[in-house]
Amino acid sequence: MKLERLMKEKGVDAILITSLLNVRYFTDFTGTTGTALAVKDKRFFITDFRYVSQGKNEVEKNGFELICENISTLKKVGELLKEFEVKKIAIENQSVTLDQFKLFQSNFPEVEFVYLDDTFIKEREIKSEEEIEIIRESVKIAEVALEKTLPKIKIGIKEREIAAELEYQMRKLGASKASFDIIVASNERSALPHGVASEKLVEEGFLTIDYGCFYKGYASDITRTFYIGDNPTQKHLEIYEIVKEANERAIKVVKAGITVHELDAIARDFIKERGYGEYFGHGLGHGFGLQIHEYPGISFKAENKVLKEGMIITIEPGIYLPDFGGVRIEDDILVTKNSCEILTTLDKKFKKIK
Ligand SMILES: [Mn+2]
């Protein structure tokens, strides 16, 4: 149904889906080699012999006819385009390489190419009930994993060891892997918004952990900042409370109908008022799903759009003071008609780990 509407919107008689992520979105195929083709009212899924039985189970219920092609997928696609007299085909120009495009041109010389641009990622903005349930589970796995990891965190442990433990726990709980390189940033490294876990030993000061997992293909994305040691300064307490309040103020106003610029400004203006505006350089959040960063961007830098029911976004304000340390608190939020549901449940109170 979606593909039919998209074909109409794009004015094409076929859509070729080549990125595995979108193949998965439209067909449910979870393997590593597969191409989907919508031609007029027919749906084909082309894979090689390794995926025939898996593919059948996954894609046929979604209306895709499986074709096993061991030599050349594109040759097969070309034959189908000819058979159905396709004149215009939409392709995923944002993920197709130049080499692939040249192959498209040589295998289907008679068709005109139309670019999908960001059509698919826009399609994925609003999550279905089924996707929401999976993301809920993804968030839960990540949360339990952090709870199991916390007792191991102490002064002297390597950042990478914390990241390894977190990933181990997430996988043990059913995740396929971490949803990105886990960020574990101790003391002055916590001032780096993307301080991927390093060889550094944890020392007294802030410790920021930004992580998540993939579960059934869907991401989670959570950040918590802790204080390691027993003697936080006034400044540590102050910036922590500002970030926490910015996070809470923003979450309070999330609902269908608010624009991403309005939402970003709620947190940003508050941090500015408290004198730390220049230390919050990134956007307030982002959508996520099959990818860790999807639409909408919740940022003054992003295209301004209105939040809709069923979007899942992060809210993650931060303050980063060079050579001192930083705080970020990130929650995962489901936008509902009149407010939102906070999917993350981990505590946000200033927490000292000794
Ligand atoms: Mn994030």
3-class DSSP assignment, residue 252: helix
Q: What percentage of the chain reaches a pLDDT higher than 70?
A: 100
- The CA distance from 186 to 310, in Å, is 35
298 alpha carbon – ligand 1 mean position (Å): 11
pLDDT band at 233 (very low <50, low <70, confident <90, very high): very high
> What topology is assigned to 2-123 in CATH?
Creatine Amidinohydrolase; Chain A, domain 1 (3.40.350)
221 alpha carbon – ligand 1 mean position (Å): 5
Domains 2-123 and 129-353 share a fold: no
220 alpha carbon – ligand 1 mean position (Å): 9
Domain 129-353, CATH number (from 3.40.50.720, 3.90.230.10, 1.10.10.10, 3.90.1200.10)? 3.90.230.10
Domain extents for the chain? 2-123, 129-353
211 alpha carbon – ligand 1 mean position (Å): 8
223 alpha carbon – ligand 1 mean position (Å): 8
Span 17-72, pLDDT tens digits: 999 999 999 999 999 999 999 999 999 999 999 999 999 999 999 999 999 999 99
Question: If residue 103 lies in a helix (H) or strand (E), which one and from where to where?
Answer: helix 98-107
204 alpha carbon – ligand 1 mean position (Å): 25
- φ/ψ region of 98 (left if φ > 0, alpha if ψ in -120 to 50, else beta) reads alpha
Examine the pLDDT at 231 and tell me if it is beyond 90. Answer: yes
250 alpha carbon – ligand 1 mean position (Å): 15
Span 311-344, pLDDT tens digits: 999 999 999 999 999 999 999 999 999 999 999 9
Per-position DSSP letters for 106-164, written without gaps between them = HHSTTPEEEE-TTHHHHHTSBPPHHHHHHHHHHHHHHHHHHHHHGGG--TT-BHHHHHH
332 alpha carbon – ligand 1 mean position (Å): 9
Contact 166, 199 (CB under 8 A): no
Contact 65, 36 (CB under 8 A): no
287 alpha carbon – ligand 1 mean position (Å): 9
Angle between helices 234-253 and 260-273 (to 10 degrees): 160
Average pLDDT for the chain: 97
Return the pLDDT at 1. Answer: 76
Torsion sign over Cα 214, 215, 221, 222: negative
